[in-house]
Amino acid sequence: MRKEIRDFKVFNKQLINDNFILLSLQSNDKIPEILPGQFAEILIETKNVFLRRPFSVHDVDYDNNLLIFLVQIIGTGTQYISNLNIGDNLNLIFPLGNSFSVSDKYKDVLIIAGGCGIAPMLLLSKFLFKNNIKPKIILGARSKQHLLRTDAFETYADLFYTTEDGSYGEKGYVINHSLLWKDIKFDFIYSCGPESMLKAVAKYAAKRNINCEVSLENLMACGIGACLCCVTKTIEGHKCVCTDGPVFNTSQLEWNN
Amino acid sequence: MEQLDIKIKGLSFKNPVLTASGTFGYGEEFTDFIDLNHLGGFIVKGTTLNPREGNPYPRMAETASGMLNAVGLQNKGVDYFIEKIYPRIKDYNTNIFVNVSGSTIDEYIKVADKLNNLEKIAGIEVNISCPNVKEGGMVFGTHCPSARNVIREVRKVYDKIMIVKLSPNVTDITEFAKAAEDEGADAISLINTLLGMAVDSETRKPKLSTITGGLSGPAIKPIALRMVWQCHKVVKIPIIGIGGIMNASDAIEFFLAGATAIQIGTANFINPKVTIEIIDGLKKYLIRHKFYSIYDIIGKLEC
């Protein structure tokens, strides 16, 4: 898949809670097919930010040439993005990275997402749905108001929730959800979120011999496999999260540090 | 017609824009964005005798106008390069150099010797300035007698162009420039990264797994320019300027300070087309100032 560098315009920007925005970027040209899990490196043209910032593609609207991102405002770069106006330019390098494996071999699939880890999962749910697979999703967040984009998922997935304060769904972390401890055997688990959560998911999957893929978000400089900064340790040595990932099968990862 | 072509020890470069080792992979990472045949040359990732896993994550920290890296020469070793990578890149119509590194003089010699027979490799860049490895690297580049030794021994086994990449982490870089020239280097490239560090005030921990790392980007450009200018006054061999070049105007500054060619490093991470944009910018500069050749501005700083 050919990578390209392209200018987009901010088409829509919607604040969806105190620190998340849904950002739609429009191109004059057709968007090439984006696979679930792939990301873009966005150029941040403001003081104190030097490198591009990587963001998972949340959704694609091919008819209107739109790339859609779910952005958590956490630093100077994301603050800059949140301050953009409709019509402003943003320069992207995309599509980057590998993607989640989608196969009709796996019927009972589970998605586990924590916080911002929900970002790549809408595109994944749509892909699964297209392949006649309706995934179950456990979404976890701090509280009810931090559960994001639940409406967008409803057509494509069966949703389950956990919140840390118990304000919605089951109280606790995603890994504590009762769905995981019922007598259901999943064929495949996809997960994205904080590393501690991913490690717990990986452990759960390994114990039950379930195929499990996680999307990692290591610090990156180039995003195209040139700088070798974003590596993660695998059973085959250091691999670049930007080109060999961001999606890794957990059986490949060496997480015993 | 404005002329960007230069020569280093009889070798022609279609333009003076090269890419810096460790920022351009093996060139292949950039072929979606640019035509490698349009570059003056590129310098592939630091290559060692044996495969190296490099340093643990995290290896990178963004800093004011730059970044620190502590990759630690991750590469699959010279034999893998020769067998797997060289056949894929050898037919590009540009000058390809291999950056050579080692922990001992013997390793430098062995790697250089293996590369000597590769027809389509224009030369090597001897890296005596990597700050991210425990042994070798910068140890050679910051101790003048050691630098002399490595350069002399590699020169004995390597017949084509030998560039020596100098470390800025020294009191007087001109001593090392002169040593390289005396021992038979065909050109010197400078500067490698400056040793630095970054701290996370919230977690009270270093941001790099190795604590210290190499600083690159526009933050180091004034130092790089100064060192190129100092070396230009004391050596006759060509100087390849490196350090925070983000655009054509930055590049021109290096030519004026005495560089015959330049390398683009960190800028490749932000704009993978930057090399081609700089080549275009250099042409426009020559036209705008009515110069015929890039040689008309090399070392022509008006002091």
* pLDDT for res A107: 87
Average pLDDT over residues A47-54: 95
Residues of B marked active site are found at: 130
Average pLDDT over residues B177-194: 97
Using the Cβ of A222 and the Cβ atoms of chain B, whether some distance falls under 8 Å is answered with yes
Residue A16: is its pLDDT beyond 50?
A: yes
Nearest by CB to residue A50, choosing from B54, B62, B272, is B62
Spell out which chain B residues touch chain A, with contact meaning CB-CB distance below 8 angstroms.
22-25, 29-30, 32-33, 53-54, 56-67, 69, 71, 74, 217, 266, 268-273
Using the Cβ of A171 and the Cβ atoms of chain B, whether some distance falls under 8 Å is answered with no
Using the Cβ of A40 and the Cβ atoms of chain B, whether some distance falls under 8 Å is answered with no
* pLDDT for res A17: 86
Q: What are the pLDDT digits (tens) for A104-149?
A: 888 899 999 998 999 999 999 999 999 999 999 999 999 998 998 9
Average pLDDT over residues B220-244: 98
Residue of chain A minimizing CA distance to B71? A229
Q: What are the pLDDT digits (tens) for B96-116?
A: 999 999 999 999 999 999 999
Alpha-carbon separation of residue A246 from A55, A155, A213, A240, B207 (angstroms)? 11, 26, 10, 8, 21
Q: What are the pLDDT digits (tens) for A135-146?
A: 999 999 999 989
Q: Tell the CATH topology of A4-96.
A: Elongation Factor Tu (Ef-tu); domain 3 (2.40.30)
- Taking the CA atoms of B22, B28, B34 and B35 in sequence, report the sign of the dihedral they define: positive
Q: What is the mean pLDDT of chain A?
A: 95
DSSP string, B76-102: --HHHIIIIIHHHHTTSSSEEEEEE--
The number of C-alpha atoms within 13 Å of B138 and in the hemisphere containing its C-beta is 19
Common-topology check for domains A4-96 and A100-215:
no
> Domains in chain B and their CATH numbers?
6-296 (3.20.20.70)
* pLDDT for res B137: 66
State in words which class domain A100-215 has: alpha beta
Residue A71: is its pLDDT beyond 90?
A: yes
Residue B299: is its pLDDT beyond 70?
A: yes
* pLDDT for res B135: 66
* pLDDT for res B129: 82
Give me the helix-helix angle, B173-182 and B144-157, nearest 10°. 30
Average pLDDT over residues B200-205: 97
* pLDDT for res B150: 94
Q: What is the dihedral of CA B155, B156, B158, B164, to 10 degrees?
A: -10
Q: What are the pLDDT digits (tens) for B41-88?
A: 999 999 999 999 999 999 999 999 999 999 999 999 999 999 999 999
Using the Cβ of A221 and the Cβ atoms of chain B, whether some distance falls under 8 Å is answered with yes
Residue A257: is its pLDDT beyond 50?
A: no
* pLDDT for res B136: 65
In this prediction, residue B134 has a pLDDT band, given cuts at 50, 70 and 90, of low
Q: Do B273 and A5 touch (CB under 8 A)?
A: yes
Domain boundaries, chain A: 4-96, 100-215, 216-257
Q: What are the pLDDT digits (tens) for B234-246?
A: 999 999 999 999 9
- pLDDT higher for B141 or A80? A80
Share of chain B above pLDDT 70, in %: 97
State in words which class domain A216-257 has: mainly beta
Q: Do A50 and B63 touch (CB under 8 A)?
A: yes
3 state DSSP class of B139: helix
